[in-house]
Structure 1
Amino acid sequence: GQCKNVTEARKLLSNLNLVKIDFSAKLHLSPLHWLIADKSGEAIVVESTAEGLNVYDNPVGVLTNNPEFPKQLLNLSNYQSISPAYPENTLIPEVKLSTYSRGFGSRFLPGGMDSESRFVKEVFTKAHAPKGKSEIENITDYFHNLHAVEQQKGLDQVAPGQFEYTIYSDGINLTTGTFYYSTYDNNQINAVKLEEDKLEQTELLQYPLQSKQTINFQN
């Protein structure tokens, strides 16, 4: 809330120290990673490690959990040949190989629920996402990008009978302040608009979370 852009955030981060103190006895510290971005598209990653607080340029505009961000970027080099286009036959160019499916350019794109696989897939998805001509088009594409790496129930076991899953997905229009979100139980994109006339008030505004599925029955 003290910065209007990434440049100002960098200056504050240079004097920031995180302390190793649990929030409470029931809420312990968690190894969090932060992505800070502004309207220009510039983005940085902030990670606190044993060596201290690290701030990295983020050229891909994507962030996930461990490993640390430099290792995530290095891992991308393993997938430089991934493409939306059909690959050229460089294995045996003189032999015409038969095909049986589309999408061979992305055949070796990782699809696991682990953070490293999801990082690679989201970088690929974001890099090739179309640029819409309207707010609705861009928001629709944005949520398709997020859903490409969401975790469904039953696929990522964290304990016997317990599974991690994507509780919600969200995004903000940094120009209008409009907050968009969907939940696991409600695929509909919901929006809360920033109302200029209410910015100066002192009372907290609350909007109920739309977590009940909405289906458009056509008959």
Structure 2
Amino acid sequence: MAQNVTFKNFDEFKQPLQKFNAPFACTSLIVKDLNNNVYHGRGMELTFGEALTSLTYYPKGYSFQHLAPNKTPGLQYTAKYAILALTTPVSVFDVKDALEGFNDAGLAFSLNMMPSPPLNEIKPEEYKNAVPYASFGEWVLANFATVDEVKAGLTQGVVFWSEALEMLGGLETPFHFAVYDKAGGSIVVEVKNGALVVYDNPTGVMTNGPEFPWHMENLNNYSHITNIDTTIGKVGDLNLRQPDSGIATSVLPSSATSVGRFIKAFYFSTYANRVADPDLQLVELGHVMNNFDRPKNITKDLSGEGEQATPAKYMTEFTLWTVLTDLTRGQMYVRLYDSLNYQKFTFADYKDKTEMVSFLIK
């Protein structure tokens, strides 16, 4: 019996790659200290956004409620944990969409760009349990303490829907999410075939597209990665000696693409120096994240195509901010593009606050 065979030409193959273009890039990773405490690092790359990021604190007991697709009130839920988040207006209906954050139970998340087709439309009878997909991270932090709790809770009494985000050109599902807990648990949540897919993440790393399984498959092409310098070698009859240290990193991708950054983030987080002092481990994490700091004008995206594309009309991605988070001690450090130093925010700073606190970070 003949098997069913599908034939695709090259135009059909490349079409999914051309349909979506991510307007910003991010790198998310975790490292551990000698006591296995977990520290989360994340960089946010954008072509705009100065003076748009707020530090927002939600106390335990804060009530959240977003809109359903018909603009009626969706799911109402109360924060079981206090939350510190970096927020910015993404939805026209919510000026405090969380891009990055953690709660006082030690659960953290990162929202990273990865455009995909929207979630399946939800039914009118589900509107009362609706939460916009852009608010996924906030919902996670309000409700759960561990990655395992998140995985169990995703099937309980909540329905996510894809809002057309005018701030991002009408994209409906332009994100995927990394979630971490203070025990080292790590998952990635993406949209595929109209539904949420949850992947265990043994690397603790996430960048942008392609889909997470593609990155894991591509990692197999780097089985030769090591942090051991090979300074002396022999090729044929010729003895060779490396004149400097650092040759081990020559196997890493050189580009700042999401594919290249995933491999580099895996390398740097795997081999990051581990110490016993939490303050010093944050410094070590800062050095790791420096490898993903992106200055303005190093790469340019021309705003037009063909004859319309000129060097005078371009966008340049840069690291809007870098975040270091100590999941055990409840500390977040934020460095803006225009600053050499990190600002420190802790749950202890807001322990007496019973209402939401939010202000632009400068």
TM-score, normalised relative to structure 1: 0.84
Question: What does residue 5 of structure 1 align with?
Answer: 146
Q: Find the aligned partners of 1:55 and 1:40 in 2 and give their Cα distance.
A: 18
Equivalent pairs counted in the alignment come to 209
The reply to whether residue 205 of structure 1 matches residue 357 of structure 2 is: yes
Residues 33 and 64 in structure 1, CA contact (< 8 A), matched pair in contact too: no
Task: Report the secondary structure of 2:333's partner residue.
Answer: strand
- AA aligned to 2:163 is I
Gap change, CA 1:30 and 1:167, over 3 Å in 2? farther
Alpha-carbon spacing, 1:96–1:170, altered in 2? closer, same or farther (3 Å): same
Matched, 1:148 2:285: no
**Quick one: structure 1 residues 89 and 53, their matched pair in 2 at CA, closer, same or farther if it must change by over 3 Å?**
farther
**Which runs of no fewer than 5 residues in structure 2 stay unpaired?**
1-141, 304-312
Quote the Cα distance in structure 2 between the aligned partners of 1:119 and 1:26. Answer: 24
4+ residue runs over 6 A deviation: 88-91
1:100 matches 2:243? yes
**Is the contact between residue 113 and residue 155 of structure 1 (CA under 8 Å) also seen in structure 2?**
no
Distance 1:161 1:7, change over 3 A: same
What is the Cα deviation at residue 175 of structure 1?
Answer: 2.3
Verify: 1:18 aligned to 2:171, yes or no.
no
The alpha-carbon deviation at position 109 of structure 1 amounts to: 0.7
Aligned pairs for 1:97-176 within 5 A = 97-158=240-301, 159=303, 160-176=313-329
Per the TM alignment, residue 99 of structure 1 is displaced from its structure 2 partner at its CA by: 2.3
How far, CA to CA, are the matches of 1:35 and 1:109 in structure 2? 23
Distance in 1 (CA, whole Å) between partners of 2:323 and 2:331 is 11
Match of 2:220 among 35, 52, 77: 77
CA 141–197 in structure 1, closer or farther in 2 if over 3 Å, else same:
closer
CA contact (8 A) 1:86 1:102 kept: yes
Q: Does the residue aligned with 1:83 lie in a helix, a strand or coil?
A: coil
**Contact conserved, 2:203 with 2:266, CA < 8 A, in 1?**
yes
Q: Which amino acid aligns with 1:13?
A: L
Specify the SS of the correspondent of 1:18. Answer: strand
- Measured after TM superposition, the shift of residue 7 of structure 1 is 0.8
Unaligned segments of structure 1, at least 5 residues: 211-219
RMSD, matched Cα: 2.5
Q: Aligned AA for 1:189? A: Y
Q: Aligned-pair distance for 1:208?
A: 5.1
Residue 106 of structure 1 aligns to a residue whose secondary structure is helix
Paired letter, 1:42: G
Q: Percent identical across equivalent pairs?
A: 24
8 A Cα contact 1:76 1:120, kept in partner = yes
> How many angstroms apart in 1 are the aligned matches of 2:318 and 2:245?
29
What is the rounded CA distance, in whole Å, between the counterparts of 1:27 and 1:171 in structure 2?
30
The alpha-carbon deviation at position 195 of structure 1 amounts to 2.0
- Shift of residue 73, structure 1, vs aligned partner: 1.1
Change over 3 Å in CA distance of 1:88–1:127 after alignment to 2: same
Amino acid at match of 1:10: K
The separation in 1 between residues aligned to 2:349 and 2:162, in whole angstroms, is 38
C-alpha distance 2-27 of structure 1, shift in aligned 2 (>3 A): farther
The aligned counterpart of 1:217 is none
SS in 1 for 2:143: coil
Is the strand fraction higher in 1 or 2? 2
